Amino acid sequence: MAYGGNPIADDKREFILQIIALLESHRRAGEISKLAVFGETDMLGQLRHLMPQTLSDLVIREVPKNLLHLSPQELADAVLHGLQDRSGIS
């Protein structure tokens, strides 16, 4: 029987798992003690679902916003604003 999965969803899941592995390696090395997560709503939900408790415990803020289209300066401003904005998910 042929595989009937969704290649885009599979790629997204693999990307999320790679992000988690990278973050976990930095956590184990003692390089992070707090984590703020920015991303589109669906991505945040999947990340939250797949993230191990060791990382979940470090999350201080989740901001449901896609920042990929921003310039470096706009990105820095958006992150700063997202960290200061109290209306975001925390």
Query: What letter represents residue 32's amino acid?
Result: I
For every residue of the chain, DSSP letters joined together read ------HHHHHHHHHHHHHHHHHHHHHHTT--S-EEEEE-HHHHHHHHHHS-HHHHTTEEEEEE---TTS-HHHHHHHHHHHHH-TTSB-
Instruction: List the chain domain ranges.
Output: 9-18+28-84
Query: Is 60 exceeded by the pLDDT of residue 8?
Result: yes
pTM: 0.80
The whole-number pLDDT of residue 70 equals 97
Query: Is 60 exceeded by the pLDDT of residue 44?
Result: yes
Mean per-residue pLDDT for 72-87?
90
